[in-house]
Amino acid sequence: MQGNQDVISCLVELLRGELGARDQYFLHSRLYEDMGYPKLYERINHEMEEETQHADAILKRILFLEGKPEMTPAAIHPGFTVPDMLAADLRLEYEVRTNLVSAIALCEKHSDYITREILEVQLKDTEEDHAYWLEQQLRLIKLVGLENYLQSQM
């Protein structure tokens, strides 16, 4: 089915963003593992898997709409300390949220309700799971201090 070119172009950029998010979470999860924080490793590894699922859903939609995917991940901006990694991931999630909101509005404009529905599911996951959890972790660091927070992640 031939899709709207503006929607396809938007999906291509969303795909690149999801692939970049996957790569950042991949790096961060392995850094947490190497640092000896298995709880953070497990959570961020799970986030990496979810970003891969998001990318897969977008990729399938691009192909269905007869678009040509761009598989080059967006640039990542990783951190290398626990607070910096959490903050970098939160900034990434805020960026993803902004991009998804714009993409949903574009889908609405072009009456592509199926694509809109796919993206709404991802927006819910971004806001209610990913970003919220990261906000909680940064709040906990401020509340209990970095040392106590890190001890709880061992």
Model confidence over 73-124: pLDDT tens digits? 999 999 999 999 999 999 999 999 999 999 999 999 999 999 999 999 999 9
> From start to end of the chain, where are the E strands?
none
Q: Determine the average pLDDT of the residues in 60-73.
A: 98
Number of domains in the chain: 1
Mean pLDDT of all residues in the chain? 98
Q: Among 122, 135, 87, which residue's Cα sits nearest to residue 14?
A: 122
What is the b/e burial string over 83-116, where b = at least 16 CB atoms within 10 angstroms of the residue's CB? Answer: eebbbbbbebbebbbebbeebbebbeebebeebb
What pLDDT is attached to residue 84?
98
Task: Give the model's confidence band at 48: pLDDT under 50 very low, under 70 low, under 90 confident, else very high.
Answer: very high
Q: Determine the average pLDDT of the residues in 46-70.
A: 98
Domain assignment of residue 96, given as a range: 5-152
What pLDDT is attached to residue 1?
85
The CATH number for 11's domain is 1.20.1260.10
Taking residue 13's Cβ as centre, other Cβ atoms within 10 Å add up to: 15
Q: Which residues contact 100 (CB under 8 A, 6 or more apart)?
A: 14, 119, 122, 123, 126
Report pTM: 0.95
